[in-house]
């Protein structure tokens, strides 16, 4: 989390799958262990997330709150995020789920409200599956966010490889390559070794 710009909205996107959620859970665990308050909003079952984090040995003892939100009302989500969440780090798992039927102008206003709240001292991580929202919504979200992290899955023969790509991060020098990563019992491991032909 120390690599994220302060007071920011960061988009974490993936074609489909749970790698973005696991990545966000590792970020949440690191922030909570550093004394930050983490507020995790999800359309998934909170107990499943706690179980997953327990299996990965990253469930924080303190500073971590999960809130289930199964309705799809974007105004209810914004009210929860803006008025009721007290986290230094606020994660919305499946952000796109709540804005499926929102017109572009309403979506822009919602993102603007989150950006205004972030400027008061919070970091928002918005997790989306690419292709769920209309393309103009996704492009607008990428443009308005302070940072974009993309998780890409590539099939090579009978192997699946996952990569992190960071095309945008306010205040950071961007990498010129995608970073391979794995998720194992040892954690979310990013391979930063240089390979020479």
Number of domains in the chain: 1
CATH code of residue 23: 3.40.50.300
Give the H or E element holding residue 140: helix 135-144
Determine contact, residues 29/61, Cβ cutoff 8 Å.
Answer: no
Asked if residue 197 belongs to a domain, the reply is no
pTM, to two decimals: 0.91
Asked if residue 45 belongs to a domain, the reply is yes
Asked if residue 3 belongs to a domain, the reply is no
Asked if residue 50 belongs to a domain, the reply is yes
d(Cα 130, Cα 11) in Å, to the nearest integer?
A: 11
Per-residue model confidence as pLDDT tens for the chain (197 residues)? 567 888 999 999 999 888 999 999 999 999 999 999 999 999 999 999 999 999 889 999 999 999 999 887 999 999 999 887 678 999 999 999 999 999 999 999 999 999 999 999 999 999 999 999 999 999 999 999 999 999 999 888 899 899 999 999 998 877 778 888 888 777 788 876 655 44
Asked if residue 195 belongs to a domain, the reply is no
How many other CB atoms are there within 10 angstroms of residue 151's CB atom? 22
In the three-class reduction of DSSP (H, G, I as helix; E, B as strand; rest coil), residue 118 is classed as helix
């Amino acid at each position: 989390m120390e690599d994220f710009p302060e007071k920011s909205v960061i988009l974490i996107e993936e074609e489909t799958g749970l790698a973005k959620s696991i990545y966000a859970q590792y970020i949440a665990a690191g922030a909570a262990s550093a004394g930050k308050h983490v507020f995790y909003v999800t359309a998934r079952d909170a107990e499943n997330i706690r179980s997953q984090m327990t299996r990965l040995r990253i469930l924080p003892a303190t500073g971590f709150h999960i809130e289930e939100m199964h309705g799809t009302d974007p105004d209810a989500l914004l009210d929860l995020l803006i008025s009721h969440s007290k986290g230094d780090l606020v994660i919305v798992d499946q952000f796109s789920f709540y804005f499926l039927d929102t017109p572009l102008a309403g979506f822009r206003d919602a993102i603007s409200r989150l950006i205004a709240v972030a400027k008061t001292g919070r970091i928002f991580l918005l997790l989306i599956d690419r292709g769920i929202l209309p393309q103009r919504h996704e492009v607008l979200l990428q443009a308005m966010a302070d940072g974009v992290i993309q998780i890409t899955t590539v099939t090579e023969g009978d192997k699946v490889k996952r990569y992190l790509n960071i095309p945008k991060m306010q205040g950071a020098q961007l990498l010129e390559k995608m970073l391979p990563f794995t998720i194992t019992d040892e954690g979310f491991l990013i391979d930063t070794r240089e390979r020479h032909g």
